[in-house]
Structure 1
Amino acid sequence: MTGPVLFWVQHLLGIGHQRRSAAIARACAAAGLEVHYVSGGMPVPHLDLARCRFHQLPPCRSPDDSFSALIDDQGQPVSPAFWSARQSLLTQLVTDIRPAVFMTETYPFGRRAFRHELRPVLEQVLKTGVNVASVRDILVRKPDPAKYAQAADLIDRYFTAVLVHEPDAFTGFDNSFPFSGQIAGRLHKTGYVAERPLPPGNPDTSREPSGDILVSGGGSDVALPLFRAALAARRHSRQANRNIWRILVGQGVSEAEFQSLIKDAEDGVVVERTRADFHDLLSRARASVSLAGYNTVIDGLVAGLPMLLVPFATATETEQTDRARALAEAGHAITHDLATINSLSLAAAVDRTLDLPRQNHNTAWFRGAEQSAAILHQLATQTRE
């Protein structure tokens, strides 16, 4: 007998956490598991959850990239009544579903603001099931080392397994979490979670693609400096001044800003909202220009494209910079600082990027969703035997 799996996912700004978790949830459903998916973030249009059952907690988000506060769907600061409503609903869901596996996305390696709603549930699950943590390849660096120790202690106390979504031979997580040795017995490297599997065969590396320069920035508005630089960069490029530059703008960018980008676009530059056929566009592109979020990078690696990574970085957001640097050092990408980008520097960086070859990557790197589903299936079965 195999019991149900319950996912808890909370995004605050961009939607990468939701996209990655949804890919794992779909793989679990395809493996025959009963999957419940609980989201505490703002609704995400067109989130593909296949046969999974979706449950929405009262949503909240960060109003800006400082992540210093949380607001509800009315733009008001979250209140004690808000937290109480969330915790009551989540507790009731766990009581009704009785999950064999309860999986938290990022927590306890992040999302500390939600600890008061999660810890009672973690205790509750342990009576009938197991807790699992899901975390991407690289963590945000923390100025307070005690927070690393607290996360390791919570893993020891509550969690049976930690699914780290990077290939086994990679060390992004180990390098960014100094207590990885303490929890080594619980760690499972799953490989990268790709929203779309590798196409049959490998990318054609024998020809120079003639497709678009595809500029994307995820679901939030933090990529606006990149988008504005791209509006006039095409004419300054030596190698891509005859290609279409296609800028895909996420829903987190206001309609006023979106219309301003359309108005200011030069000839040969197309500005659109993010498209459902993004992966098809990527497979036909000449190069990818993007931030360095997990999902965007994996999409580029799957496509085998030359990538220009422009990481979003603040004093408290270091993960994209670390990921971009690692990929550049491995010869998979060129990088550019978001804070200093302009049309001329972007054009020059794109030209350097186009000197990179299209690449074949190990297909085993990108089976993170399937490997995660296999681990969760095994745990859900063992728990109910």
Structure 2
Amino acid sequence: MKRLMFYCQHILGIGHLIRSTEIVRGLTNDFQVCFINGGEIVKGFEIPDKIELVNLPAIKTDTEFRELQVPTGFQTIDEVLEYRRDQLLTAFNRIQPDVLMIELFPFGRRRFSAELLPLLDRAKAHGTKIVCSLRDIVVTKQDQVRHEEKVCKLINRYFDLLLIHGDPAFIPLEASFSRTQDLNCNVHYTGYVVQQGVGIREQKIGNGKQAASTHLPTPLILTSVGGGRFGHDLLKCVAEASKVLETKIPHHIQLFTGPFAPDEVFEQLQTIAQHRHNLTVDRYTPNLLAYMQQADLSISMAGYNTTMNVLTTGVRSMLLPFTGNDDQEQTIRSQRLEQLGVVTLIRPSDLHPEAFADRIIECLQTSPTSMQFDLGGVKKTANLIRAIVHKQPVIV
């Protein structure tokens, strides 16, 4: 089998990790896959058995993206990047991959250039095919012209293929990057990457009681915020709205704080849940899609993977976009979906428990518009990678 090395660096949430894992899961029939994780290990997150996992010393950032945080055992970011560079080169020399896939870079993660450029140089010298794995919308910069010029230079110097995990009929890359036509490598849209459906193994219902059934109480209101480093105002608003809702409608709220939520946030929400028969609070589930399949309403942040779960299941959805660091990615995607009648957009000014409870009731009484999106990103990515390695015509 051909060999593939996939580099993923998540620094705040877990969206990049989830999407990247689904992509490599779809490649295991054709490739021996080594997955390089540069971010924090997520307790309970499952990497497929067939995939070799290499965890680098984890680097993360603060919620405002102001600075990278130095992991334990290192004095500076430069020191840890140098150490990680050597680990990457050692892994490359051992694996001798036919394909190197790098998620997001150079459209983002350029603070990791010190470890990635030596890896790209090594791959180029070896004759390895180099692929950029990119979501549909990229973060814009204050000096966008200079940023796009650097992206073009790096793509044209190193990369053989750019895979955009989106649907151009919905949002083309040009909505956030104007110079797609200046990229010399092959550029293909794969459709959106969605998670595979899995069953709910077990769940807690009503303040910690184990459920023997594989079905959750209904109507189910599912609330989640991805990794949990942000979105705390949304979690607290829903928890407080549960007091208003418990006498108005039959329902149960399942709330996930995310694996990275601060302990004090988790404990505060659990304290509220102890006094509510209609609220359950847990940190994390690897089976969020299965919960969403049974939910009557999903209330969440508007990240790529959660939004894809909404589109996959067709569940009623209320989305709050993340806007830290002036990031417009989630806003652009969710506003477009609201214009199409697919979701209801939440704005920070909406987060008042009494009024928010009314909006929840209103959403439960409406049906979302059904739309067709290209959700074949995993299969099409595998086809495109297979084609470039075997020098075959592209059949997606």
TM-score calculated relative to the size of structure 2: 0.87
Give the counterpart of 1:229 among 233, 237, 261.
237
Partner of 2:115: 117
Partner of 2:157: 157
Is residue 2:376 matched to residue 1:378?
no
Give the counterpart of 1:70 among 46, 49, 68.
68
Q: Is the 8 A contact 1:287 1:305 kept in 2?
A: yes
Deviation at 1:278, TM superposition (A): 2.2
Helix, strand or coil: the match of 2:181? Answer: coil
Helix, strand or coil: the match of 1:289? Answer: strand
Q: Is the 8 A contact 1:216 1:290 kept in 2?
A: yes
Deviation at 1:370, TM superposition (A): 1.4
Q: Is the 8 A contact 1:312 1:338 kept in 2?
A: no
CA gap 1:376/1:236 in 2 versus in 1, 3 angstroms: same
Partner of 1:213: 221
Q: Is the 8 A contact 1:71 1:77 kept in 2?
A: no
Q: Is the 8 A contact 2:190 2:377 kept in 1?
A: yes
Partner of 1:34: 32
Is residue 2:299 matched to residue 1:289?
yes
Partner of 1:268: 278
Q: Is the 8 A contact 1:198 1:303 kept in 2?
A: no
Deviation at 1:339, TM superposition (A): 6.0
Partner of 2:262: 254
Letter in 2 for 1:320: Q
Count of aligned pairs: 370
Deviation at 1:214, TM superposition (A): 0.5
Deviation at 1:345, TM superposition (A): 3.4
Letter in 1 for 2:320: V
CA gap 1:256/1:298 in 2 versus in 1, 3 angstroms: same
Deviation at 1:241, TM superposition (A): 2.9
Helix, strand or coil: the match of 2:85? Answer: helix
Helix, strand or coil: the match of 2:311? Answer: helix
CA gap 1:79/1:168 in 2 versus in 1, 3 angstroms: closer
| In structure 1, distance between residues paired with 2:57 and 2:164 | 28
Give the counterpart of 1:243 among 215, 226, 251.
251
Structure 1's unaligned 5+ residue stretches are 200-208
| In structure 2, distance between residues paired with 1:75 and 1:223 | 30
Q: Is the 8 A contact 2:197 2:289 kept in 1?
A: no
CA displacement, residues 240-277 of structure 1 (integer Å, 9 cap, x when unaligned): 73211111111101233211111123441221222233
CA displacement, residues 153-196 of structure 1 (integer Å, 9 cap, x when unaligned): 21111111111111242224221111122228622111111112
Deviation at 1:80, TM superposition (A): 2.9
Helix, strand or coil: the match of 2:280? Answer: strand
Between 44-53 and 188-197, the greater mean CA deviation after superposition: 44-53
Partner of 1:205: none
| In structure 2, distance between residues paired with 1:166 and 1:337 | 25
Deviation at 1:315, TM superposition (A): 4.0
| In structure 2, distance between residues paired with 1:116 and 1:278 | 35
CA gap 1:189/1:198 in 2 versus in 1, 3 angstroms: farther
Identical-pair percentage: 27
Which of structure 1's runs of 4+ aligned residues deviate more than 6 A? none
Is residue 2:360 matched to residue 1:350?
yes
Q: Is the 8 A contact 2:320 2:347 kept in 1?
A: yes
Deviation at 1:221, TM superposition (A): 2.4
CA gap 1:250/1:37 in 2 versus in 1, 3 angstroms: same
Greater relative CO (CA pairs within 8 A, separation 6+): 1
TM-score calculated relative to the size of structure 1: 0.89
CA displacement, residues 285-313 of structure 1 (integer Å, 9 cap, x when unaligned): 10110000000000111111111001111
Deviation at 1:376, TM superposition (A): 1.2
Q: Is the 8 A contact 2:241 2:356 kept in 1?
A: yes
Q: How does 1:1-385 map to 2 (within 5 A)?
A: 3-29=2-28, 31-45=29-43, 46-62=45-61, 64-74=62-72, 78-127=76-125, 128-145=127-144, 146-183=146-183, 186-196=186-196, 210-236=218-244, 241-265=249-273, 266-338=276-348, 341-358=351-368, 360-362=370-372, 365-382=374-391
Deviation at 1:14, TM superposition (A): 0.7
Q: Is the 8 A contact 1:21 1:105 kept in 2?
A: yes
Letter in 2 for 1:68: R
| In structure 2, distance between residues paired with 1:186 and 1:95 | 26
| In structure 2, distance between residues paired with 1:92 and 1:188 | 31
Helix, strand or coil: the match of 2:298? Answer: strand
Q: Is the 8 A contact 2:156 2:184 kept in 1?
A: no
| In structure 2, distance between residues paired with 1:355 and 1:239 | 17
CA displacement, residues 187-226 of structure 1 (integer Å, 9 cap, x when unaligned): 2111111112599xxxxxxxxx943110000012201100
| In structure 2, distance between residues paired with 1:185 and 1:155 | 7
Letter in 2 for 1:103: M
CA displacement, residues 6-65 of structure 1 (integer Å, 9 cap, x when unaligned): 100000011110110000001000x32111111111112223233111111121111x21
Deviation at 1:334, TM superposition (A): 0.7
Q: Is the 8 A contact 2:42 2:259 kept in 1?
A: no
Letter in 2 for 1:53: E
CA gap 1:114/1:239 in 2 versus in 1, 3 angstroms: farther
Letter in 2 for 1:55: V
CA gap 1:313/1:264 in 2 versus in 1, 3 angstroms: same
CA gap 1:75/1:61 in 2 versus in 1, 3 angstroms: farther
